[in-house]
Structure 1
Amino acid sequence: MMLIHPNRPAHPLVEPADFAADRLPDEVAAHDKALRAVHEWAHDYLCAPHPDLGRRGDVCPYTGTSLLKNLFFLSVHPGKPTDPAELAALLRHYRDWFAELEPTGGPGAQFKTVLVLFPDLVEPGDFAVVDQTQELLKVEYAAEGLMLGEFHPGPPDKEGLWNADFRPLASPVALLGMRHMVPTDFPFVRGDDVTLSVYLRLFGDRVPTHLRRDVQAAADRLATSGS
């Protein structure tokens, strides 16, 4: 069933199991369309191959397991925020709640995901606040071993890792999503010394084989630069 925060009951987390019902719980029923659109997008887009991805496998290798383990949580915030600092304060609340959600440790914890939806941000000019908030918080999140990603219909102007012409962060509803950093996240953090330092601290002794040469080169560069 849907999760309710003890101090912020107005912003519950919808679980994958909630979508089995014909109607979502009353607290979020007004946002049924947006929630179901993102839930379907997760299944149909994130959990599937894409011809423009540039590699084999699903667009997101972790979403399928996150959904199966009932660890893929959605929350909705109506309105049109324009201030990245305002959204950053909101996302810090979710970061703290994320840390409290079970499982808090063990292998299953890496599949915990929280997506915060902004369904009223629909015009092209609306999406900048989502991009700016992600930029504002990404280092702060990474310092705690978390990844924060921005998604919206724009889509965000970030090219795919294996195909520079692909824009993989397209979603039907503007949102910010958080999850634990994992060893295969190196391509996402290599361009920022702070997040790279966190990655090396967390995964320096268990880098995937296919990334070891690149990770070592990045570590050597970081050591040389004195960062």
Structure 2
Amino acid sequence: MTHVDTFDAAAAGSAPVNFLPTQNTNLFALDDLDYLSMTRTLAESDLTALQAVADWIRTFVARPHKDLGHDGAVCPFVPAARERKTIWLAPERIAKLSVPEVVQLVKNYKKLFMEAQSANSHDAHYRSIVLVFTDLASDRARDLFDDVLQHLAVPSYVEDGLVLGAFYERNEATAIHSSSFRPFTPPVPFLLMRPAVISDWEFFLESEDWLDRWVRRFGASAVRALADELRQLPWRKSRSSF
């Protein structure tokens, strides 16, 4: 599989100009995968992997789940992003790549994403790139993602305002509102790239370092977000002050 800067432009299909700064990409919208004309350049194994992830997003992530712990979709941003057609999948084969090579590959996609974000802010919070590692064995996924994110997670957030998330079959991470629900286990390993949003504080409460990075990024808005959350809780009743 060729990388993001050399992929045949024909595979980009009908990419909307408000997201991509160039047609010379390796990105496929969810709906592109339903049309042979959009996917004819893909190897069958890569197409199968992309379709599996796309189906998982449509039937699991974008829908409510009884074990989630609250109402609404598993990821509340996905239904709106599907309407806006701003979820993009990119197939990459990395089984023979070293960790530094995978890091550089992700950096290439980060550059593309940042160019798109700076070119047009329309629907910016709903955009995401899903890097689908089509030949990555599930038993290798955790260690590889740990190594890659060790290099990229902090600078991506602090310098670029991007969140990188690892999704793989044996991911033990649980949902915010349910310690028994594990929503990060797709059929094919992938790395999610999306903009940081103020509601990310819910993911960072258990980490002083990440909560500090969130506060630094959102400043006064961060204080207001937490105040809004506190106003919905009965915290006054638990205090003994007069």
Q: What TM-score does the superposition give when structure 1 sets the normalisation length?
A: 0.80
Distance 2:127 2:232 in 1: 29
Residues 1:25 and 2:70 aligned together: no
Residue aligning to 1:219: none
* Range that drifts further, 11-20 or 22-31: 22-31
Structure number with greater Rg is 2
- For residues 75 and 106 of structure 1, the distance between their equivalents in structure 2, rounded to whole angstroms, comes to 22
The one-letter code matched in structure 2 to 1:95 is: K
Cα distance, 1:86 vs. partner? Answer: 2.4
Q: Distance in 2 between matches of 1:39 and 1:211?
A: 36
Change (3 A) 1:85 1:188: farther
Aligned residue number for residue 145 of structure 1: 161
Unmatched 5+ stretches in structure 1: 215-227
Distance 1:32 1:68 in 2: 22
> Of the candidates 114, 131, 155, which is equivalent to residue 116 of structure 1?
131
Is the contact made by 1:82 and 1:129 (CA closer than 8 Å) also made in structure 2?
Answer: no
State the SS of the aligned residue for 1:150. strand
Q: Which runs of 5+ in 2 are unaligned?
A: 9-24, 234-242
Number of the residue aligned with 2:72: 57
Map residues 1-227 of structure 1 onto 2, 5 A cutoff. Answer: 7-9=5-7, 12-22=26-36, 24-30=38-44, 31-81=46-96, 83-101=98-116, 104-106=119-121, 108-143=123-158, 144-154=160-170, 156-207=171-222, 208=225, 209-210=228-229
Aligned-partner Cα distance in 2 for 1:138–1:122: 22
| Equivalent residues, number | 209
Structure 1 residue identity aligned to 2:167: F
How much does 1:24 deviate? 3.8
Q: Give the whole-Å Cα distance in 1 for the aligned partners of 2:139 and 2:110.
A: 27
- 1:206 offset after TM fit, Å? 2.7
**Sequence identity percentage:** 25
- CA change 1:84–1:47 in 2 (3 A) is same
Q: Secondary structure at the match of 2:179?
A: coil
Which residue of structure 1 lines up, in the alignment, with residue 237 of structure 2? none
Give the equivalent residue in structure 2 for 1:220.
Answer: none
TM-score where L is the length of structure 2: 0.76
